[in-house]
Chains A and B, each alone.
Chain A
Amino acid sequence: MKILEAVNVHLSFGGVAALRDISFSVPEDSITTVIGPNGAGKTSLFNCISGFYRPQQGSIFFRGQDISRLKPPARAALGLARTFQNIALFRGMTVLDNIKLGAHVHTKTGLLGALAYLGPARREEMALREEVERRIIDFLEIDHIRRQPVASLPYGLQKRVELARALAMRPQLLMLDEPVAGMNREEKEDMARFILDIKEEWGVTVLMVEHDMSMVMDISDHVVVLNFGQVIASGLPQEVQKNPAVIEAYLGDGDIATLRRRLNANTEAA
């Protein structure tokens, strides 16, 4: 079963094509990883799926429904949740409020209810707090920072809070844009464990963008390779790794940063 399917998606910015005729799908209950050199169009692809960018051509289907015309909030309500490559937490809020915000589409207190904060509004807030504490804060081991303003947290924890916020959206498909970039080894291992748990215990399908090859190989069920806005390969991790076009893309484009990162990842894994 495919949970998400992109068909012939084409996106360009004033003549510069960021995505060309992209088609791929995400199997349900999988961890699917999109890899590719910097500038390949991975984040743009995520943005098309969340509805922040509107592709000029092509369609995106979620559980068989064409969501191409839906606005981002409607897509969130369907169960599309994500994190961002450059952390996009709300800096004026505490960790707890950031996470609660993720549940926005699943709560319904209206203006008058909020002003009065009696009965239903209060009950909804309490239920939300309870859920967030029990399912997310405990799970991600961030109970010690729940009252802190997010701006004061170290980078690794911020990434974790972003994951928490995405989980509060009660995702069906969780999209993670470079979840371990810039983390130290221990943080990376924690994050990999969380992602596996989310798939296995929560039954949430994961679609992620990641550069860290050892992690990609370890936890992905399915890999899609993007280069210059095109899908150049997809399949099982081991297959993709051996694909000549992929090796060419990584070695051939002279992207030193990517190359170095990949080599590091391999030596670390070894």
Chain B
Amino acid sequence: MTWYLGDLIPYMPLLLQGLWISIYISVLSFVFGSVLGLFAYLAKASRWRVLRGISGAYIEVVRNVPLLVVLYLIYFGLTQFGVNLDPLWSTLIALTINNGAYVAEILRAGFEAVPKGLREAAHALGMNSAQTFRYAILVPGIRNVFPAMTNQFILLFLFSSVASVIALPELTNQLLRVNSETLRTFEVFTVGALLYYVVSSVLAIGSRLGEKRLFRW
């Protein structure tokens, strides 16, 4: 068999639809995961040992268990307890849990890297804790986490392909389907790789441009 893309043309709408679902689940779980990550970070930085412990354990577990296994646990495992989540929700939950742990670490690293002197200068000017955070820490912290956060989003987008194994019709799942219908395996996955690549690179470039525009200092 030679290289031939013609067979794929009728399936392009399907693939783009799959791509759309991939983007959609990535955005949602990035948003949910960032909120979760923010709380996990705050818990880990808090004064209460119990909160620190819970948050630390969560981060450790996520970083040491494959995402795919977490997804199986949620989608197949929970049915044993009568919890039947559909593929979409299972994926969103698994990706959110996964992303939250990494976001917590990104926030910790980024905010710890804000020079201590800024906090002191703010205090010395009479700012209370909230004002100090708002005026002295927040923006430098956001700048510190920005590149890692956009990078994390790209990783999440690529990882979202695991959802194909539980038949969520995102891009990889659609690739498998088109492959079985056309048997143009090499072409199908090349096109798929290209779609992932294009979206990721556009995001990466956008991130760098955004960084330049947002942080002119």
Check if A and B associate.
no
A residues with a Cβ closer than 8 A to B are: none
B residues with a Cβ closer than 8 A to A are: none
